[in-house]
């Protein structure tokens, strides 16, 4: 129980490089992993890879372990696993390692504005 929260409340922001160029950020909760087949199907492409540490910094402006979907250096398409919607309170990367922002889910959704919700995670 980190920060007084259950793992399901902690949101990870993971950046992927698309084979056709560009990047997409996937938000998943807790210990869940991104489902690569579901992600490829949703995006309609067969090849994706995780962004390198340098790409994460160049695209988001944030170091690994502190990535936030807010205030990225470059505009990034954001996909959110629907499992996040089950929690009333969540924590998200702040852009600074070992520091998170704890907020209500509804406020988080309002702040995100454009987000695609789907089944992007596996256990």
Give the end-to-end CA distance of the chain in Å, rounded to a whole number: 18
pLDDT at 97: 87
Q: What global pTM score does this model have?
A: 0.92
Residue 70 located in a structural domain: yes
Residue 74 located in a structural domain: yes
CATH number of the domain where residue 98 is located: 3.90.960.10
Residue 52 located in a structural domain: yes
Instruction: DSSP for the chain, please give it.
Output: -BTTB-GGGBEEEEEEEETTS-EEEEEEETT-EE-HHHHHHHHT-S-EEEPPHHHHHHHHS--TT---SSS-SS--EEEEEGGGGG-SEEEEE-SSTT-EEEEEHHHHHHHH-S-EEE--EE-
Residue 1 located in a structural domain: no
Domain that holds residue 99: 7-122
Residue 2 located in a structural domain: no
pLDDT at 3: 59
pLDDT at 83: 92
Q: Report the number of distinct structural domains present in the chain.
A: 1
pLDDT at 1: 43
Q: Among all chains, which residue has been given the structure tokens 């995006």?
A: 43
pLDDT at 109: 93
d(CA 1, CA 5): 5
Residue 23 located in a structural domain: yes
Per-residue pLDDT of the chain (123 residues; tens, 9 = 90+): 445 788 899 999 999 999 888 999 999 998 889 999 999 999 999 899 999 999 999 999 999 989 999 999 999 999 999 999 999 999 999 989 888 899 999 999 999 988 999 999 986
Phi, psi of 83, rounded to the nearest 5 degrees: -60, -25
Residue 99 located in a structural domain: yes
């Amino acid at each position: 129980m980190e920060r007084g929260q259950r793992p399901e409340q902690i949101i990870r922001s993971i950046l992927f490089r698309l084979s056709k160029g560009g990047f997409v950020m996937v938000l998943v909760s807790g210990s869940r992993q991104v489902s690569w087949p579901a992600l490829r199907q949703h995006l309609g492409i067969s090849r994706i890879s995780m962004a390198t540490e340098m790409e994460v910094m160049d695209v988001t402006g944030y170091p690994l372990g502190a990535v936030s979907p807010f205030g990225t250096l470059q505009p990034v398409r954001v996909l959110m696993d629907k499992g996040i919607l089950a929690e009333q309170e969540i924590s998200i990367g702040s852009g600074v390692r070992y520091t998170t922002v704890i907020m209500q889910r509804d406020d988080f959704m309002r702040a995100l504005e454009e987000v695609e919700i789907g089944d992007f995670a596996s256990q």
